[in-house]
Amino acid sequence: MVHTMQAPVLFRQKTPRKNPQTSGGRHMQYDDSVRIKHLLLFISAILFFSQSIFGAQRNVLLITIDTLRADYLRCNGSTKVATPNLDSLAANGVNFTRARTAVPLTLPSHAGILTGLYPLSHGVRDNGRFRLDDSFLTLAEVFRNNGYATAAFVGSFVLDHRFGLDQGFDVYDDGITSDTTLLENPEAERKADAVFQAFAEWLRNRDRKRPFFAWIHFYDPHAPYDAPRSAGKLPSDLYAEEIAYTDSITGLILDEFRRQGMPDVMIAVAGDHGEGLGEHQESTHSILIYNSTLHVPMILTAPGLLPAGLKLDALTRTIDLAPTILDFLGIQKTFGEGTSLREIITQKKQRSGFTSYSESFYSKLNLGWSELRGLEDEKFHFIMAPNPELYDVQKDPAERVNKISQLSAVATNFRVGLSARLEKQKPDPELMDPETEEKLRSLGYIASTPRRFQNGIDPKDKMRLWNEIQRAILDFHESKFQAVVQTLLPLAAQEKNLPLIYEYLASAQMKLRKNHEAQQTIQRALQNGVESASLHQFAGMIAFQSNTMSKAETEFKIALVLNPFDTISCYYLGQIHRSRGELRLAIAQFERALEINSRYVPAWNGLGAVRAMSGQHDAALAAFQEVVRLDPNAPQGHFNLALQLDQMNRRDEAVQRYRKFLEIARDPEYAEQRRRAEAAIEKNQ
């Protein structure tokens, strides 16, 4: 995933059956697709339990490593960095040396790994703005229905449970950060050692009567590259340093299995996508679909079940991993659109006519340029773009020489193959569907000049501009807001319809407390037909700060139409209703925010305050206790909890909280509250 703020939603995503962001607490509504899914689960359970009496169920661990190139592993011939633990898994299992992901983005790629489906089918096309629908069958659901304990431990906000990958997991640990300032930041991540510690604690305390399926996601090789000092510095290659660090944490997992006497765990390792590292002028990933970002490592090991030390150079795909695991375990032979690789593993057979599909809609959805689609077989890689490309990957694995003009007949065959796939796909994501337009009209708003996608713009022709935008994004995340403005202000004048430019420019201006300039940036964007949830959220925040509540309310409601995952807009709507004394409406908005993100401390504080105003003192107390649990070092939480305890005549407990508040509230902004706390302590003693 390329670094962005809260991702803008330019269209309405498919509505899920079970979506806390939009359901308002309603019961799940079942349709035929959900019934079919449950029937398949029931059938797979019968098949599994009938075969399981002949042998013990094997524990399974899936490790996905974000942004990991296949050619950075020593077992794949790399000399850039030592990867002894991943190498040991390859040496004791099967190493698929030509594995491909379908999309160079974290959420869509993982949706494919866990469903065995291409994005054409599962419908997740970008980070932050899509959710995997409940109707899709996931690998975790198959395992759970077959008696397994299931647990996931992820390292990035991009895989937060709100985006639907938690389906089938008994435990879905996405507690990325305890820093309340980062709770809604898509850049929030936790290091691999913290992910491992969460997994290890679960592993030690699990129900040992049940086999387990666990998924661990390491985010560390993702930019910016900042491995812990203990990883051992590789100053000439910071990306390699991150990989060395992640490999070392993989070693801790293997040590933990040995410590617990678990020698036969089936372990699967896959990268979700690669990294450009300057190839084809792409420094990171997300836009282009060359094999620099599609070629990923994929390893499967299971002592006594799979051969050891086998290298397979056949074209394979990450969507093949789940069906292969299930096939070897005897659970089921088919899963999603992937193909079990059991036959080529056991019989070492090559497959003829096998292809791998790829796509990226990032540039279309975020920059208004064309999407890219690709199809690869054993010899060629075809990329369908405004200026199409064809590479002989056997002779030219780095994809440097475009053979489209010399091999037009080959290219035509690929176009036909792609067209056949696209006929069966879900509709392409668009700017705005009729239902979204109707919702906006109901708010008295509709864009006067909706932005049309400039499908004739080939992303590869815009990489110089994209690299400038990326530098500004990096400056933003390093809090160099003036540098962001200096870079993006002239770009906004030249490129009038690129959402990311307006969003980062307006956000940087707000960080510099130049709200008037930010408002002008937002207005220019909207006048140019650029619609985005983030822009309306920013406009709402500016209006809220200037006490223009009616405008703020409208802007936040528009943001929520465009992005139902927008916790921040829900919170501000709650504050607006609270300021008007509309307590029931305020409670509904704070609760909606907490349905999206149950760890969002500001919403717990707001909910506690409104519950107290409503006379619901026990509920208010519970909300403030949750604030302190989630953020034990936040002065405001302790002060609010003390006030509530005082209100309920629990004076001894109130005094303890007042003292805790005085202990940690040292900033001048708390001067008045310190005075009140000291007076309360004196009164209650």
10 Å Cβ neighbour count for 676? 16
Q: Hey, is 146 helix, strand or coil? A: coil
User: Residue 646: what residue type?
Assistant: D
What does the pLDDT read at residue 439?
A: 73
Cα dihedral sign for 87, 89, 93, 98?
A: negative
Where does CATH 3.40.720.10 sit in the chain?
60-349
Using CB atoms within 10 A of its CB, is residue 11 exposed (0-12), middle (13-18) or buried (19+)?
middle
Within 13 A of 292's CA, how many CA atoms are on the CB side?
19
Query: Which residues, at least 6 apart from 679, have a Cβ–Cβ distance to it below 8 Å?
Result: none
Where does CATH 3.30.1120.10 sit in the chain?
370-422
CATH annotation of 370-422: 3.30.1120.10
10 Å Cβ neighbour count for 552? 23
Question: What single DSSP character describes residue 194?
Answer: H
Percent of the chain with pLDDT over 70: 86
What does the pLDDT read at residue 155?
A: 94
- Say how far apart CA 635 and CA 186 lie, in whole Å: 25
What does the pLDDT read at residue 452?
A: 46
Host H or E run for residue 173: strand 171-173
What does the pLDDT read at residue 505?
A: 97
Where does CATH 1.25.40.10 sit in the chain?
436-684
User: Is residue 107 within 8 Å of residue 1, measured between CB atoms?
Assistant: yes
User: Is residue 260 within 8 Å of residue 253, measured between CB atoms?
Assistant: no
Q: Specify the pTM.
A: 0.86
CATH topology classification for 436-684: 1.25.40
- Give the closest residue to 159 by CA, choosing from 120, 106, 212, 229: 106
Token pair of 630 as six digits: 């989630």
**Which DSSP string corresponds to 342-359?**
HHHHHS----SS--EEEE
- Say how far apart CA 14 and CA 623 lie, in whole Å: 33
User: Is residue 491 within 8 Å of residue 501, measured between CB atoms?
Assistant: yes
CA separation, residue 73 to residues 35, 253, 265, 522 (Å): 43, 18, 22, 45
- Print burial letters for 160-198: b (CB count within 10 Å at least 16), e (below 16): bbbbbbbbbbbebbbebeeebeebbebbbbbbbbbbbeb
10 Å Cβ neighbour count for 489? 15
Q: In degrees rounded to 5, what are phi and psi of residue 558?
A: -65, -45
Q: Which CATH architecture has domain 60-349?
A: 3-Layer(aba) Sandwich (3.40)
Token pair of 62 as six digits: 């899936």
Q: Is 60 left (phi over 0), alpha (psi -120 to 50) or beta?
A: beta
Low-confidence residues of the chain, pLDDT below 50? Answer: 1-30, 44-55, 448-453
10 Å Cβ neighbour count for 598? 15
What does the pLDDT read at residue 55?
A: 40
CA separation, residue 560 to residues 4, 230, 539, 553 (Å): 18, 43, 13, 11
Does the N-terminal peptide bond of residue 224 adopt cis geometry, omega within 30 degrees of 0?
Answer: yes
CA separation, residue 119 to residues 36, 126, 345, 366 (Å): 20, 10, 26, 18
